[in-house]
Amino acid sequence: MHSLTKKRSKALLIDFAVSTAVTAGVEYILRKKIKNEAFHALIPPTAVMWALEYAQLRKRGQTIGYKAMGIILENEKGKKPDCGQIVKRMAYRDSISSFDYLKDRKSFEGENGSILPHDRYAGTAVKEK
């Protein structure tokens, strides 16, 4: 595993911890209004994670975890990714990317960990700052 991939993994864990804390607050409010447990298990965690990641990447090109690990997300031109790239990246990562890993583990990390399948699909790359 490349050092950049390790940093990306640690950044994702940090972002997940932040998202979990926010989700706990959102669920506390929603539990009074919505009683369906399947809803609470699926919708709030995903919606909160995506909303936080989208807002942070759109504004700064970094999430809290990326900033802590000293990495940044850029598009192919070296600038902040646009709205479509961010959404495509998140959707691919949370759906199809797992199958890419199972299919071909050796070529999963591209260019020393800066381009994973969801980055390739969205036209983005993660660089060390």
pTM for the complete prediction? 0.86
pLDDT of 108 above 80: no
Check residue 107 and report its DSSP letter: T
Joined tokens for residue 93: 């990562």
Q: Where are the domains of the chain?
A: 3-128
pLDDT at site 104? 81
Q: Are 8 and 126 in contact (CB under 8 A)?
A: yes
Residue 37 predicted with pLDDT over 80: yes
| pLDDT of 39 | 92
**Cα–Cα distance measured from residue 41 to residue 31, given in angstroms and rounded to the nearest whole number:** 11
